Amino acid sequence: MQTDRKRESLLRNSGVQTIIGSLLCIAIGLLIGYVVLLIINPAGAGGAIAAILKNYFYYPSHVAVLKYLGTTLVKASALLVCSLSVLFAWKVGLFNIGVAGQYVIGAGASLYCALGLNMPWYVCLIATMVCAALVGGISGALKAYFNVNEVISCIMLNWIGLYAVNMLLNTVKEQSTPYTKSLSNANSSALLPNMGLDKIFSNNEFVTVGILFAVLAAIIVWVLLDRTKFGFELKATGLNKHAARYCGMREKRNIILAMMISGALAGLGAAVLFLCGIEQWMVQMTSIPSMGFNGIAAAFLGGSHPIGAIFSSYFIQHITSGGSYVDKAMYSAQISDLISAFIIYLCGFVFFFKGWLGRLLDKRDEKRAAAQEKGGKAQ
């Protein structure tokens, strides 16, 4: 009996419920993906799903495994910071769908400061976060003073940001390609320092302190939201801004600050990726990069918790990168994106699962209490 009660108390823990729900989403998403692979070509379905899950373990060489693990971690760190941006706003009652646009602004600011103004990496990093924070602050101000829904303002700013960045970075692109200049050739001082991390991952030059910045950001967000007075005020404002105002909190300031911090995190995600030199911006881009939108999935798959987002971000990037090892003669490399999309779609059911499990445990407690009451009367 005591074992059953311990199991029940464990199942009532919000963190445990989130982990179980997230694992179910992953398992169901992979199962649906496997069924799709079977429909396309049954002969290679098992190998394809194995290649996606293996990712860099596809290589027999230990050196190659470490090198491509480093590349996956670099991209996962950018995704992590974008997911932190989403969940920070979500925790304070705001849905920042503008993370994608703020990420774009961050990319534009970091690359222009590096290539157009020849600034060192730390100045580029600060400028990136400030510019993205200001864009987030615009949506926050519209919400605070004019009650404009942040989803609407963010979507419009996403597209404004994309084309503004394209025009800005057109001044620092290579002459023969639509891509911006390489940081390593144009301004190596703008590259984030490696601090020896590249040696750990088989001299992977793209592995920088950006990975540490991302993990540190997750810890700071967790402490800020759950362990500080400022975080309590932000969450209280999100739950009920009228009650927050009645308690003496400056609800308008809190809304704007929350969106600015969320925007700064999105900008940091762009800096982590573009200031390591692993990617260049294409100035003819007509669609918003998926990194910001994938951050929404990583945030919810991680249970809207900063520490959970570390693991969910890595997993999503792991299977996304794993798609490049699928047999191209049988399947498209985008099959991993499809499987990711299934998992992303199922992420929304984590909250439903937690609610369902809570109701199931409540009913079990009611039945147990009723049985004990009947037993007491019988005696």
Query: Could you give the residue ranges of the DSSP H alpha helices within the chain?
Result: 2-11, 14-40, 45-54, 62-91, 99-111, 121-146, 150-169, 183-186, 197-200, 210-227, 229-239, 241-246, 251-274, 291-301, 306-322, 335-347, 349-378
Quote the CA–CA distance of 231 and 81 in Å, as a whole number.
18
Quote the CA–CA distance of 272 and 189 in Å, as a whole number.
15
What angle (nearest 5°) sits at the alpha carbon of residue 152, between those of residues 150 and 153?
A: 65
Tell me if 321 sits within 8 A of 70, measured CB to CB: no
Tell me if 36 sits within 8 A of 48, measured CB to CB: no
Q: Which two tokens stand for residue 167?
A: 């025009």
- pLDDT tens, per residue, the chain with 379 residues: 556 565 656 777 777 877 888 888 888 888 998 999 999 999 889 998 998 889 888 888 999 999 999 999 999 999 999 999 999 999 889 999 999 999 999 999 999 999 999 999 999 999 999 999 999 999 999 999 999 999 999 999 999 999 999 999 999 999 999 999 999 999 999 999 999 999 999 999 999 999 999 999 999 999 999 999 999 999 988 888 888 888 888 899 999 999 999 999 999 999 999 999 999 999 999 999 989 888 988 998 888 899 999 999 999 999 888 888 888 888 876 777 787 778 777 776 777 777 787 788 788 878 877 777 776 666 5
| Single-letter residue type at 223 | V
DSSP 127: H
pLDDT value for 320 = 86
pLDDT value for 376 = 66
**Measured torsion, CA atoms of residues 166, 282, 67, 86, in degrees rounded to the nearest 10:** 40
**Residue 179, SS3?**
strand
Quote the CA–CA distance of 362 and 17 in Å, as a whole number.
14
Contacting residues for 321 by C-beta, under 8 A, at least 6 apart: 55, 56, 68, 71, 72, 75, 336
Quote the CA–CA distance of 302 and 21 in Å, as a whole number.
10
Tell me if 161 sits within 8 A of 105, measured CB to CB: yes
